[in-house]
Chain A
Amino acid sequence: MFVGGIGLILFFYISLSAGIYDVSLQQLIDAFLRRNVSENIDLVIFHFRLPRVILAGFVGLGLGIAGAVLQGITKNGLADPGILGINSGAGAAIVVFMFFFQGHVSSTSWLFTLTMPIYGLVGGLTAALLIYFISWEQGRLDPQRLLLTGIAAGAGFGAFTIFISLKMKAQDFEMATVWLSGSIYSANWLFVLAVIPWFLICVPVIMRRTYMLDLFRMSEESLISIGVSVEKEKSILLLSSIGLISACVSVAGSISFVGLMAPHMARLIVGNEHKNIVPVCGLIGMLLVIGSDFIARSVVAPAEIPVGIIIAIIGVPYFVYLLFKVRM
């Protein structure tokens, strides 16, 4: 936790200071303490970099926690919001929303930005329900079937999204594609504001139920016999994590693998209690996304590689490693 905190501060500092326009530590401190105010530095720091870093942090936090919850509920170490198709469901709904409001949409409009996570939630829930319904077999959730269905649903929602986005006007289409590939490119304070309520609601709900995730390791029968209303608890946890995912997708598009990697790393570091795993997951997620976002915008500056791609390139080898190690 402590090392992670230091790492976070370090990443935070590098992300804020490095770039095409280099800002020294002195200048950074000055800017925060409002000494020797310089308009240029203010613009770079407060207008561009700070909201972006904060947003990347939130996205990582949300996806990391959601990954821990999904892996806990499904008892499947390979579950991830992206692989399960929940991301694409949320993405599809948001693109549909952009489509119906085309022309009236701009990333700086209040109403649009603040309501986007809600549409994402609708899509994410639809995807989750569909996947849940198809994987539900004889009163239990088959983990293998769940992954397969997720992959298929992801492909389907993806195709649907392309279909809708092709019907859009050029300008909206551009916005939709940049955003779909998983990018924090267009971060602004409004986006940060839009995701905060979701975190304020969902994270505490999940944190209060981390002990449930530990209990889920036991068999359903023994859970019921000690008086746990399993389905209700699962639904609350699932709903909260989909809430987090939708908020993240609505501001950063579809980013896979964070929710997959973070829980495994967290288990390595803090053991098996979800009380510890969940927050550490959030922290690792933050580190991953802030770090990857920095790589994404610095490697080909002034152009950008979508952060989702950087994370996939890091994530896949890790996934293959997990395949060799984890039983399924």
Chain B
Amino acid sequence: MARHVIAPVDELPPGTRKFLEIDGRPIAVFNIKGEYFGLLNRCPHQGAALCEGPLIGLAQSSDPGEIEYTKLGEIIRCPWHGWEFDIRTGQSYCDPRRFRVKAYPAHVEPGASVVKGPYVAETVTVKVESDYVVVEL
């Protein structure tokens, strides 16, 4: 796994994102409240530059009329058709089969371990080393 230094931390303050190309792959790196996440910047649906979408929260409902809005700023919504992905894992929320299980993992996982077949955006692991943001892929 190669490590790529992409920016000094102060170039990527909380709430910002950086787009880059690594080994021919479009990547976006996010700083969400001091945590860093990397995502392949290509939507698995029709190929839009996924990470140009807005960061939103996750709307869920256990019963009609009950709406929970969590994971604020952690869900990326595709700029084209609005499919939602968890930037921590790349997991999609629009695969209906997932809605049936009713359990939504909220814990942090290393991105590379969560490639679960269709409708999963490719993730890359990001970590901070000294004062630089480093992407592994």
| A and B together in one complex | no
Which B residues contact A (CB, under 8 angstroms)?
none
